[in-house]
Amino acid sequence: MKGSYNRSSSNKSRTGFNFKKIKKYYIHLAIIFSLIVFAGLSALVYTWDNQLITNGVTISGVNIGNMTQDQAKETMDKEIQRLMDQTLKLSIDQHSPDFRLGDLGLLVSADSALNDAYDISRNGSILNKIINKISATKGIDLSLSHDWNDETLLQELNKNLESLNNPAVDASFKISPQNTMIITKEQIGQVVDVEDLMTQIKGIDIYDPPSEIQGHYKDQFPQVTAAQLEDQKITGLLASYTTRFDPTQTARSGNVRLAANALDKAVIKPGDTLSFNKIVGERTVEAGYKDAYVIVNGQFVPGLAGGICQVSSTLYNTGLLANLPVTQRSNHDLAISYVPLGQDATVAFPDLDLKFLNNTEGYLLLRSKVSNNSVTIELYGKVVPGQEVSISNTTESVIPFEVKNLVDETLAHGESIVKQEGQPGYLVKSSRIVKMNGTVVKTEPLKQSRYIPLPKIVAVGA
């Protein structure tokens, strides 16, 4: 009995102990759950998006915490304007002009910083948001972005400092009555060192700029020196060519004179192209040109500035004899008489041109002379001692012309009148022969010339 009583007491004791323990466990569990729920709710409240930038955030020292995006942008726009309105004094010699930083090309933007500021405590998990928000309260300073517009900076400095410069003066020359170059020596200049100023300005702290920057002068050297001109100096006549015209054709003669006068005294730099159209320009009534016969589609017809191709052909021969490379040349459709076959050059503004390259390493000077019945074009430049140039032409074939009979009812039967004389066509090959001290050193084939025949037209009575 005694043993049985003890077991029963022991079982009751264990049962009572377990119940209390379980009850206590559930109480603890409820408390923990409540705390978790409370913490979760607190975290949700703490990280709730109220559309405001987190407290403690600044941009370049300007507080934007607890502001909406619009408020923050307005605040930073004012700060940017303040930065742009700051002035900087440039001290150069006795001159100290003031410049507004914005006018010097300063570019400041808060866009990226505002986006980053708004994103703080809005990205990642709730835990990350809490950590970021707590960190922000200790202070987060973002930076404005800024740069300089180099083109604006350079233009503003040049515009305001140009009057302080004493620019270099290139060596120059004028042509004497003897067609030689009279050279004037160059001068070294003194100009503001704008590149150094740009480097200094772009290196300033825009939040605490210096009150003054010291500028300096530097030497500016001329691009053309007297020594260069001496090396490129005209030393004499390279070539000359003359053609003749009928002075009774007054309109044509006047056109020849106008074009020749336009060429006179033209100077071509070393390496440049001698262009007939560029020098003479467009042939217009306002310029004084008149109608005279021109060749169009294989026919002689009246046209403005007829006759100037005699000037271009004269120039072509002068350039050939001066041994200049020909870069553009076209012959007439029909054979002409004022130069040998193969040695003419037709032109029409603006595309049909006569061009030579000045490869002489010296200046070229064009001179023209027009008498009562002739035009002469001369080319002056660096004479090559011992050089002689000549032109050779070979007629490869002659193309006979056709005879066209046209019925003319005003003529009597059997009567005929020649309305247009026929002219054969030709295929001509030309060469330029260069001699040095009497020895041929080069034979250069030139562009061949093909002339179409001009039919003979006879009016016959019906």
Residue 30 has a pLDDT of: 64
The tens digit of pLDDT for each residue in 201-220 reads 999 999 999 999 999 999 99
Token pair 């037209």 in the structure block, residue: 457
Range with the poorest average pLDDT among 99-103, 296-300, 370-374: 296-300
Query: Which of 123-137, 287-301, 319-333, 409-423 has the largest mean confidence?
Result: 319-333
Considering Cα of 303, then 307, then 310, then 316, what sign does the dihedral take? negative
Distance CA 429, CA 422 (A): 23
Instruction: Report the C-alpha dihedral over residues 290, 292, 297, 299, rounded to 10 degrees.
Output: 170
Token pair 């066509």 in the structure block, residue: 425
Give residue 264's identity as a one-letter amino acid code.
D
Distance CA 71, CA 435 (A): 87
- Nearest residue to 309 (alpha-carbon basis) of 285, 326, 334: 334
Q: Do the beta carbons of residue 73 and residue 110 sit within 8 Å?
A: yes
Q: Which pTM value belongs to this model?
A: 0.70
The tens digit of pLDDT for each residue in 51-65 reads 798 888 999 999 999
Residue 22 has a pLDDT of: 75
43 pLDDT band, cuts 50/70/90, is very low
Range with the poorest average pLDDT among 29-38, 62-71, 264-273, 421-430: 29-38
Considering Cα of 242, then 247, then 252, then 255, what sign does the dihedral take? positive
Residue 104 has a pLDDT of: 97
